Amino acid sequence: MKTLWAIAKKDIMHVVKDKTALLLMIAVPLAVITVIGLAFSSLFNANSGQLTISVALSDQDNATVGKAIKQALNIHTKDLDITITTYPNAERVRQQVEASNESVGIVIPTGASEAINKGASQAIPSDKRVQFYTLPNNSSDARVNVIRMIVDKVLQTQLISNESVRQVYQVCNQPGNHCAPNTINGPAISGAVIQATNATENALQPVSAGKAPEINTFDQVIPGYAIFFALFGLNSVAATILQEKESGTFRRLLIAPIHKYALLGGKLLAQFVVTLVQIGIIFAIGYFVFHMHVPDWPALILLLFGTSFAATGLGILIVSLVRSRRQINPVVTLVTLVTSALGGSWWPLYMEPEWMRNVARVGITAWAMEGLNNSMLFGKSFMEVLPNIIALFVYGLICFLIALRFFRFQEKTAAA
């Protein structure tokens, strides 16, 4: 154990002596975090949830349907903001949609209200139908779907109310039925039906469960990029070991009476400490400067310990599998970029499809980011992120054991 610590201490001393490298180790991630954090500051903020939609409208009918649609589209809330621009004819509306100046186009032709008032029992001629313009194949566009839903509801309500009045008249006019003259108030029946269809909020009680995520952009960007740069640190783990092999100091250590596990363990311990300090400083700056949320300190600290341990174990594993310094860079770059993209370093993990989240568990980043997102964004308890903490430590340990098995302590020595 003393030997292990001696090797670790020596490696840490090497890092500390290179003051410029030490500064860059912190400054580079912070510069990237600041730029990315500010650039995407609106992406995760509460205000960013507002959906803004522009609608091109041409009301040639100038009657009840047009009025109802315009009234229904008059929405300006923090979640939804609809802007209506009116145009004199259908062609102008079509052009605006085609040029993507407007999200959706609506044309209400002359006679549309009259045709709809005749009720759903009669087919509405095509030249009297409300026209709904969109770009082709954009059924997944949320803006189109929102406007379509609103217009559908308006037309549905109109049709239902007119049909209701007609049904009342039909019942009264059936043989044997008697309704006193002038007692059927069509507009009143129609208005009551419209009011009833618009009153669904009285029948539906929205109830919130859990806690709404409080997302500061830096809550995502700081952990993501701290882990991303920690993974790039795999380069230095691998490089120091290969450098020792090349310079002959590794052989000198192997000739000394020490265990092989102490030799690799010392390297692992040193890099673990360096990675932990790097991530720790970045998180500390994130907390004090960028006001990152830390609802559960023990969970966060253990997640950072686990991440540093797993990253270092992976570094030792990589160096046990590569044969030269030239191979390290491409391998580390591949591992870092792929696991960062999959594992949620650059965007929240929950935005990815489920299959991708499952694939991402091959890397460290997914385990770390899931734990950090759950703790920092969703306010989950220590016990709920404990599986991620355990997974990270197990990940590092497995990497270390595989590395011990495959590490080439002695290079093939030619006769000399």
Partner 1 sequence: MQESLAQQQERSHPARSTSIEVQKLQKKFGKHEAVKEVSFTIATGEIFGLLGPNGAGKSTTINMMCGYIQPDSGDTTINGISVAHNSRQAKRQLGVVPQEMALYTDLTAIENLDFFGEIYGIPVRERRERAEDLLRLVGLYERRKEAIRNFSGGMQRRINIAIALMHRPSFLMMDEPTVGVDPQSREHIFTTIEQLRSEGTTILYTTHYMEEAERLCDRIAIMDEGQIIAMGTLEELLALRDHTQELRRPHGLQELFIQLTGKTLRD
Is 408 one of the binding residues for partner 1 (CB under 8 A)? no
Helices (H), 103-185: 112-117, 142-172
Is 410 one of the binding residues for partner 1 (CB under 8 A)? yes
What gap in Å lies between CA 347 and CA 220, rounded to an integer?
Answer: 7
Residue of 10, 94, 129, 293 that binds partner 1 (CB under 8 A): 10
Positions 273 through 332 that interact with partner 1 (CB under 8 A): none
Q: Which is nearer to partner 1, 7 or 30 (CB)?
A: 7
Listing DSSP states for 3-59 in one string gives HHHHHHHHHHHHHHH-HHHHHHHHHHHHHHHHHHHHHTHHHHSGGGG-EEEEEEEEE
What gap in Å lies between CA 280 and CA 192, rounded to an integer?
Answer: 64
Is 18 one of the binding residues for partner 1 (CB under 8 A)? yes
Q: Which is nearer to partner 1, 217 or 236 (CB)?
A: 236
Q: Which is nearer to partner 1, 122 or 410 (CB)?
A: 410
Q: What is the dihedral of CA 353, 356, 357, 361, to 10 degrees?
A: 180
CB 105 within 8 A of CB 77: no
Q: Which is nearer to partner 1, 13 or 401 (CB)?
A: 13
Least distance CB 317 / partner 1 (angstroms): 24
Q: Which is nearer to partner 1, 160 or 258 (CB)?
A: 258
Q: Which residue type does 416 have? A: A
Is 414 one of the binding residues for partner 1 (CB under 8 A)? yes
Is 3 one of the binding residues for partner 1 (CB under 8 A)? yes
Q: Which is nearer to partner 1, 7 or 69 (CB)?
A: 7
What gap in Å lies between CA 41 and CA 372, rounded to an integer?
Answer: 19
CA distances from 93 to 75, 97, 134, 253 (A): 20, 6, 10, 79
- Both structure tokens of 172: 């009264």
Least distance CB 17 / partner 1 (angstroms): 5
Report the Cα 277 to chain-centroid distance in Å: 28
Is 413 one of the binding residues for partner 1 (CB under 8 A)? yes
Q: Which is nearer to partner 1, 15 or 97 (CB)?
A: 15
What gap in Å lies between CA 354 and CA 337, rounded to an integer?
Answer: 20
Name residue, tokens 């960013």. Answer: 48
Is 6 one of the binding residues for partner 1 (CB under 8 A)? yes
CB 69 within 8 A of CB 151: yes
Is 21 one of the binding residues for partner 1 (CB under 8 A)? no
Least distance CB 5 / partner 1 (angstroms): 9
Is 17 one of the binding residues for partner 1 (CB under 8 A)? yes
Under rule CB under 8 A, how many of the chain's residues touch partner 1? 26
Positions 240 through 279 that interact with partner 1 (CB under 8 A): 247-249, 251-258
Which of these ranges, 6-14, 104-112, 120-128, 350-358, lies near partner 1 under the rule CB under 8 A? 6-14
CB 106 within 8 A of CB 70: no
Is 99 one of the binding residues for partner 1 (CB under 8 A)? no
Is 14 one of the binding residues for partner 1 (CB under 8 A)? yes
Least distance CB 291 / partner 1 (angstroms): 39
Least distance CB 324 / partner 1 (angstroms): 18
Is 13 one of the binding residues for partner 1 (CB under 8 A)? yes
What gap in Å lies between CA 282 and CA 280, rounded to an integer?
Answer: 5
CA distances from 49 to 77, 126, 211 (A): 11, 38, 16
Least distance CB 268 / partner 1 (angstroms): 17
Residues near partner 1, by CB under 8 A: 2-3, 6-7, 10, 13-14, 17-18, 247-249, 251-258, 410, 412-416
